[in-house]
Amino acid sequence: MNIELPYLIHRSAVNKWECDENGHLNVRYFFAKTHQGLTHLLAELGLTKAVLNSSNAKAKIANQHVRLHREILQGVPVTIRGGLISHDDAKLVLYSEIRHTQDDTLFTTVTTSLHIVDVDTGALRGLEIGAAVNAIDVPEVGMIRSLQPESEPDTSVAMAATLGYLETARGTVMAEECDQTEEMENYQYAGHIADAIPNFMSTIQSVEELALRSAGELGGAVIEIRVDYYAPLAPGKRFVILSGLRSFTVKTMRMSHLFFDLDTDRLVLHSQGIAVALDLKARRAVPFTDDRVARMTTRQLRLSPA
């Protein structure tokens, strides 16, 4: 039985331009809609933009865990509801669900660990939330399955390469990708990682498989994501993404993406994902081919990040 979450925090629809080559909502825009919802959820808890500004504080996401239960296709109307899991001074844990507005089909569940910090120093700033706010329990459907919390990888671009990570994206942070405090919005990181994946797939897919991908017959879908944010990127910063394959089964592969500030060699984000190959005509997951398995075996990371 579905338990309705206490706060309505976002409502929109999936536009064609928000969908990728797989024909479903791209993670960049999934994270963008979720991010908009978090602003409304904080306001419901008493932490409006005016309250944060008066305290010279801002909300900063520490990590997010996502489970994607079903694809969200073009034209679908979506509603996001959310609630508070816990509140410990300046640290909050929030939960939200994306559902079909009409029939309440569950698409995605998100658990977000968020810190309230001083704008100038980055130090934690404890603020009171509304007295009437009641905490909720995480529903079974939103529980972490495979991607458990890990310590921050102690690595550099060069060290990651020795473990088998490959450069899959390189770019520069644009001003329009940043918020009013000149830090890149969290959903933009997700977008750049989504853009990096085809470069990695080109190393484990055959020419024939890539042709099927280009023809819209074979694609992929992520079913679980964990993102840990360590440091912000500012406009003009150069970045590089290194991707690696941690493990795989007959139908799933576990990816790891290391997002670096190239000017300082600082790891700013670690994103992990469980993904499947997707038959785009039948809209179902399919086993990896023998050729793909052989390529993944040679591409697998020699060591997982610490």
pLDDT at 304: 47
Residues 281 and 168 in one domain: yes
CA 176/CA 182 separation, integer angstroms: 9
Residues 68 and 112 in one domain: yes
CA 79/CA 117 separation, integer angstroms: 29
The full length of the chain comes to 306
Residues 138 and 151 in one domain: no
Strands 238-248 and 7-13: unpaired
Cα atoms in the 13 Å half-sphere on the side-chain side of 14? 26
Residues 130 and 54 in one domain: yes
End-of-domain residue from the set 85, 109, 144: 144
Is 94:114 a contact under the CB 8 Å cutoff? yes
Residues 12 and 116 in one domain: yes
At 96-139, the pLDDT tens digits run: 999 999 999 999 999 999 999 999 999 999 888 876 788 999 89
- The contacts of residue 232 (CB under 8 Å, 6+ apart) are 183, 184, 268
Residues 7 and 131 in one domain: yes
pLDDT at 18: 96
pLDDT at 305: 43
Residues 160 and 229 in one domain: yes
Helix residue spans in the chain (DSSP H): 27-44, 49-54, 157-162, 186-204, 207-214, 290-299
pLDDT at 306: 40
Instruction: Give me the residues of the chain with pLDDT under 50, please.
Output: 304-306
End-of-domain residue from the set 144, 165, 189: 144
pTM of the model: 0.93
- The contacts of residue 77 (CB under 8 Å, 6+ apart) are 11, 12, 13, 100, 101, 102
**Mean pLDDT of the residues in the chain:** 93
CB atoms within 10 A of CB 249: 11
Residues 248 and 134 in one domain: no
CA 266/CA 239 separation, integer angstroms: 10
Q: What's the number of domains the chain is made of?
A: 2
- Domain of residue 25, CATH code: 3.10.129.10
Residues 155 and 175 in one domain: yes
Residues 241 and 181 in one domain: yes
Residues 125 and 76 in one domain: yes
Q: Which domain holds residue 181?
A: 145-306
Residues 157 and 199 in one domain: yes
pLDDT at 130: 78
End-of-domain residue from the set 144, 174, 190: 144
CA 213/CA 215 separation, integer angstroms: 5
pLDDT at 48: 95
